[in-house]
Structure 1
Amino acid sequence: QHVEVKATQSIRRVVGSRRVSGFFESREKRGEKEERRRSRDEMVTTAAMGSICGPQLPSRPVPVLKVGSSGRSTVRVRAAAAGRRGRRPQNAEGDFFVDERCIDCDACRWLAPETFRRVGGQSAVFRQPNSEEERFRALQITFPLPIDEQSLPGVYHCGYHSEKTYGATSYLIVHPEGNILVDSPKYKEILARRIDVLGGVRYMFLTHKDDVGDHQLWSKRFSCERILHSGDVDLSTADVEMQLYGDGPWSIGTDFELIHTPGHTKAIKMQLDSVRKFLDMDFLWILPGHGRRERFRDVDEKNSALQAFLAAKALKYDSALVA
């Protein structure tokens, strides 16, 4: 077990990823172990795929770190077996580290940039967290988390990035006509229960075929309607409830619009054309499936950033054509 987090406010207990021991045990014995495991508090993986390991502490009662002035949330860390997972040598010396299972999805680096950096094609701890607040950020797994309660109310980062989607970021949008889950986090019942508290899921919008992940499990859990463009439907998503055709846009309810932006799974020129659509739209946030979220001061700043991006990509695209 790598990390244990206890948040007294809304999540009872979260324990890092486990490794099943005794592969050749009898089915009965494994079944007994599984039953005992289920009877405990819910077991979940860490936000960054279970590859971020917590402090290796001696076997004694686990200390509790209180986070924030209110003291309502607490963090507890349980020892990881030394050498159980391959600790990357690029990590700074200390309790926190990233092991060799890292898939370079970037999630930990933008969640806690003061602790994690990219080194040698994977994430690594470049500076050990010093304060209790930094330690909490490094262990941040009490998802879903609000993006910005002031300027973007009702939008949550689901966490639980999945290797099936190469660490894509999933979001939950709380909406009076039914909540919308955008792309698929790794399926975990403890996350589903927290989403229940926020009103469940009516729609699951799958942006493209690479990020569908555990869509079937989420669909079964919430009986939600899955939405995917017909151009991205394959055997694994043939049973989605709503397929989008044409170039859109399409509306969900009274004030939610889906805009077709092909390119990620098509040619680069289509991607540039998709970005150009955003120049005429009034928004201040970009919440990507892969990459770092962006907030702009105003529409002018947003358009300036997009125009600079388009110019740089167009130049690179033209150079590639000449080559």
Structure 2
Amino acid sequence: MTTRRRFLTISAAAVAFPNASRAEPVYTWQGVALGARATLRLAHPDAKAISARVAAEISRLEDIFSLYRPSSSLMQLNHAGRLASPPFELLECLSLTSAVHRASEGRFDPTIQPLWACYAKVSAQGLMPQTDELNLARSLIGWDRVYTSSSSIVMQPGMALTLNGIAQGYIADRVAEMLTAEGLTNILIDTGEFRALGTHPDGRPWPVKLAAGGEVPLDTRALATSAPLGTTFDERAQVGHILDPRTGQPARSNWQEISVSAKSAALADALSTAACLIETRAGINALVAQFQGARVESAAAA
């Protein structure tokens, strides 16, 4: 499996910082969130201590959402098909998932994990899934078979969830809420998706450049980008990682990348993912318009 996600979405290295006089220089912390590079940019005398708290919060949230930590809440749910007393954060993320699932007419569906695992397994052998393998994986897909309440999350045996199309944005939102509660502002959070608290310390919006061209100024707003071929299963980089739960097939590569902004990074993340499965710009606009304040910043054709 090959990945070009950082080159096809938003290049953190492409974020420009104007040279303006200020009391504190912009401090950059770097870490990892759900396997993606994470950064925090801020100008504050206690920047290192703030960054340490952010790193701890990201780690706490990975204990909920990670597919790589065996004891995470998500992994426990996938293993047992049931999770008692689920964390509030997981329930909140799944609630937003339901909203985007409905709005996208089923295109956004985290129960797609068995299908993704099927592609990943056979692609490691240089192959593509056979019809019977795809049919088996597709039989385990269906958001309507996941039941959530404050006391438990239950799904049918063999099903599994991936929140990779929303959790990175959700983590950015939670970090933003933590920092806002501390009275902080003028911070750019990047967990694979961007969330700006206020502006750059010089008073201008954070200038985020898109790999497909153009720039999005961020001021108290979030930005997410998805690319059908950002991660691929084949050596020729033609079989993308965004899979259609309705057909079992990868997204058609109509789009090089799609960028969506919103007040919430989780919402922007989910919408940009679902949008890759829509063939027309009008259809993408119609999806995003269902959520107040969200907008399409770029839909670069392949």
So what's the TM-score if we normalise by structure 2?
0.21
So what's the TM-score if we normalise by structure 1?
0.20
User: Which is bigger in relative contact order (C-alpha 8 A, separation at least 6)?
Assistant: 2
Q: Whose radius of gyration is greater, 1 or 2?
A: 1
